[in-house]
Every structure is written in structure tokens, then in C-alpha cells.
Structure 1
């Protein structure tokens, strides 16, 4: 279920899974994805791989609607206070990695817009 907006962007982050998780033997890593409205910097959809649908919905409920102009510390704090299970650190790392990919995107857009203005 996406936003229906064809102008959104998708940023992903990955992290290694801890020992003791069945998914580690299969995949080794897990990912978190943000679908973002680049005009508002808000997360409009989110997903997390290698976890149950319930956990994916839980993470999504924390992330969707969050304004990335404010970083990701607040949703990470919320997640850390409410999630008790293996993979907590990996999920947090993947959220930070996805946010870092968004920051790279924003810096590229900023650089491109500056270059266009210089050409005028």
C-alpha cells in the first residue's frame, strides 16, 4: 500500500542481524525502507524486511507521518522504548542508514538546484 504519489522517493537502510535470529542464517542483513514525499520531507510509507507482518506494521506506525527535517532520533527513541526483542539494534541501525540515504538525496538536490541557479 503506497502513497499513490508518483513523485515520492524511496530510501533504504540495511544492518546486520544479530546471532540467534533465524533470519540471520537465511539473509544475514535486514532492511528498512522509507517512502518519502520530497516536498514535505515526511515519511508516507515504510517497511521493514525479515520481521513478522505485525512487527512491520508496528515499525510503520512509528515512522509514517514523521517529518525527516527533524531527523530520526524521536522515532528511534519511541521504537526503543516500545520494542523488546532480538534485532532492536539492527533495526535502529537500518533506520539511521535509511535516513543517511535521505540526507544524501537532499544534498544532491540542493547541489543541483544551486548549479541551476548559477547557470542563470
Structure 2
């Protein structure tokens, strides 16, 4: 399904203690599939408990770059996502950007 030019990067963060995601997974994760030749997010999934949440988060990130943290995307998340995991999404995204850059430095 994914070509040889893709990598899988997981960004993680903590959620509120009263969040269903915390009760189920203990943390919030976003798994990004990134095409290395242009740093573009081509697919992702997250540890959401509701399918619509996963699909909505996917719609925010697909086609974006993971090479650097995008402040405009952070603002878009704040404007459009109003679930209890809003902050966790942003932190997981920041974590994934950091890990992706470490991968690029180490292997490419």
C-alpha cells in the first residue's frame, strides 16, 4: 500500500485524565505515513475512540509537510477541533515533527 519512499512516524502526548482516550490507551498517539522525497503526510491514524475523530484529524493533516511545525496548522486545529484532545493533538504533532527530522538526519 505504501511505496518504499515512505516512513512511519508516531507522535505521542498525554490527554486529560477524564478523557476516554486516556482511559483506553493511557496516551494519545498519531501515526503519520510520510513520503520522504517531499516530506508530505500521505496517511495517518490516531488513538481516537470515535471513528469521526480519527477521520477529522486525518483531514487536517493529509497533504501537509512534516518537516517543520506549522503554526498555521496549529491555529487551524485550535479553530476547528473542539474535543478534549485538542492540546494532545498539537503536542503529538510537535513530537512527530521532531522524530521525523531525527529520522531524516540519521538515515537520509
TM tier relative to shorter chain:
0.7 to 0.9
2:60 corresponds to = 62
Contact 1:72 1:99 (8 Å CA) reproduced: no
* One of 31, 39, 42 as aligned partner of 2:29: 31
Q: Deviations over 1:57-103 (max 9, x none)?
A: 11111101012345332322211110112111111111111111101
Q: Give, in whole Å, the separation in 1 of the partners of 2:67 and 2:28.
A: 25
Pairwise CA distance, 1:7: 2.5
2:16 corresponds to = 18
Change (3 A) 1:69 1:14: closer
TM-score norm. by structure 2 comes to 0.88
- Structure with greater Cα Rg: 1
Structure 1 unaligned runs (5+)? Answer: 111-120
Structure 2 unaligned runs (5+)? Answer: none
1:84 corresponds to = 82
Task: Flag the structure with higher helix content.
Answer: 1
Q: Give, in whole Å, the separation in 1 of the partners of 2:81 and 2:107.
A: 34
TM-score norm. by structure 1 comes to 0.80
Pairwise CA distance, 1:108: 1.2
| Deviating 4+ runs (over 6 angstroms) | none
The yes-or-no answer on 1:106 pairing with 2:108 is: no
